[in-house]
Chains A and B, each alone.
Chain A
């Protein structure tokens, strides 16, 4: 997905003179051709995330479409107040593209883990939040939102689903329709959800736009209200969106995601998938649990 990010931005830099890419001293080598071609609009801005977000807001006020890229905690957590006030409150358009969400950078420890990014971004009214599950979906969603004039968060993942879906900004995809419980899942978790529910009668709704949340698709396909949400960030992050979409309806919601504790082990992301209970077998067990509700 990181490769696609560079390719997409190279194309948009060529197409739209308003785009300014600000790198927080990461991804610099990958952008080497873009630096050469557009030296004024591709900038390694340095390691100063709070100022960078405010600078990006200044660029937006001057008619540019700024994009800031760094590791998730340094985009979202370090500069959160700048995002809230400078972009959110002032309703400025711009893009925040993170890598390393949740525990993609497992070996680097707490400072580089970020399962709370989406929840924080949800706290900024008007923020568009995207979690593509495939490089082609990133390209599509970035293109669809590029000139939206709204602040937009793109959560890139180290892992992708094997196939891209034809994603539409603001809409959930219906991956599978069944008569059983409804699984709401997000971005890179789709493949494991499909594996977990194989042979079952579950409905699978695939979300890549998390805000604004597609209430309608969920309302239409909520079945008898038994809902399993499988999310690649803190468990319960989408709970408010789901209950809001289904208000007035009797629901049984079960959320699975990164547990709300500090992950103190290192190793690889796959180790944490297992340690956090986020393998296909864990999902299957939760699905079966829901069957008895």
Chain B
């Protein structure tokens, strides 16, 4: 069981190392946000993952799957032990989260730009059903290049999806390709309510993600560090899609904050 974020990082590193696979830095970037979301914000029910009264969470940047697996295991959706099967041919925890297999995973993501519109669709469905559940998704800043993200932003505002929150994991990994400029202003111009936070400050995360009233969707622009908590990985593009070798593991574990 991982009782602290440091423990969780360790489990993730070990799982990736065993598999020789994984987007660890992408997971570490959002681990604080996931931790806060699943400790008091999102209503979830590990005993009945499909409980209609649950809140929905969609990891649109699905390559950070190790992050959501770790958190779901921490909450009891499946045993932490299962992380050891990550990416194996016999396991259900793949390089991207699969809603056909993994309890607590709401959408099969991996192709960037699908998760957020799917989350908007869930929010629309919940609204039609007059449900009190809310929907939260996390997109990457690179993912915000995709047109589908902005198409969904347009329609979420139009359909007054106030119970829909989109967190942008703004670790600037995408700057090498396209500068997003003032992301908060862009969402505001799409008629969203925007909050800017430090994505590693738990009090700020909690304040931004608490349920709120009204019919305006909320964007949370979270300033983050890709690879947060493991020095060598922090803001190091070489670690985007890479797993530590067995003989590198101890050194990486020693770096964990």
Contacts and interface: CB of A to CB of B under 8 A. Distances in A.
Interface of A: 25, 28-29, 44-48, 50-51, 73-74, 78, 105-112, 264-268, 271, 275
Nearest to B19: A107
A47 B145 contact: yes
10 contacts: A28-B177, A45-B177, A47-B145, A48-B146, A74-B111, A107-B21, A108-B110, A110-B110, A264-B98, A267-B89
B227 interface: no
Given A107-B94, A108-B95, A110-B96, 4 more contacts: A25-B177, A46-B178, A48-B146, A266-B95
B112 A109 contact: no
Contacts, number: 86
A106 to B, nearest CB: 8
A44 B111 contact: no
Given A25-B142, A48-B147, A78-B111, A107 B87 contact: yes
B100 interface: yes
Interface in B80-120: 87-91, 94-96, 98, 100-101, 108-114
Query: Chain A CB within 10 Å — which of B94, B113, B143 has the most?
Result: B94
B235 to A, nearest CB: 15
Contact of B88 (A28, A73, A112, A266): A266
Given A265-B89, A265-B90, A266-B91, A44 B176 contact: yes
B237 interface: yes
Contacts of B147: 48, 50-51
Pairs A-B, 8 closest by C-beta atoms: A267-B89, A111-B110, A108-B95, A46-B177, A46-B178, A107-B87, A46-B145, A47-B145
A271 B87 CA distance: 12
Given A48-B147, A108-B95, A111-B62, A264 B101 contact: yes
A31 to B, nearest CB: 12
B146 A268 contact: no
B88 A267 contact: yes
A28 B173 CA distance: 13
Nearest to A43: B177
Given A29-B237, A107-B94, A264-B100, A47 B112 contact: yes
Nearest to B65: A109
Contacts of B111: 73-74, 78, 111
A28 B175 CA distance: 13
Contacts of A110: 96, 98, 108, 110
A108 B62 CA distance: 10
Contacts of B110: 108-112
Interface of B: 19, 21, 62-63, 87-91, 94-96, 98, 100-101, 108-114, 142-143, 145-147, 174, 176-178, 237-238
A109 B238 contact: no
Query: Chain B CB within 10 Å — which of A45, A106, A108, A266 has the most?
Result: A266
A164 B88 CA distance: 32
B112 to A, nearest CB: 6
Nearest to B111: A111
Given A50-B147, A109-B110, A271-B89, A266 B94 contact: yes
A111 B108 contact: yes
A110 to B, nearest CB: 7
A266 B87 contact: yes
A268 B238 contact: no
A25 B174 contact: yes
Contacts of A78: 111
A73 B89 CA distance: 21
Nearest to A262: B100
A267 B237 CA distance: 24
A50 B19 CA distance: 33
Contacts of A50: 147
Contacts of A74: 111
Nearest to B63: A108
A111 B109 contact: yes
Nearest to A74: B111
A104 to B, nearest CB: 13
A271 B62 CA distance: 23
Contacts of B108: 109-111
A105 B111 CA distance: 13
Contacts of A51: 147
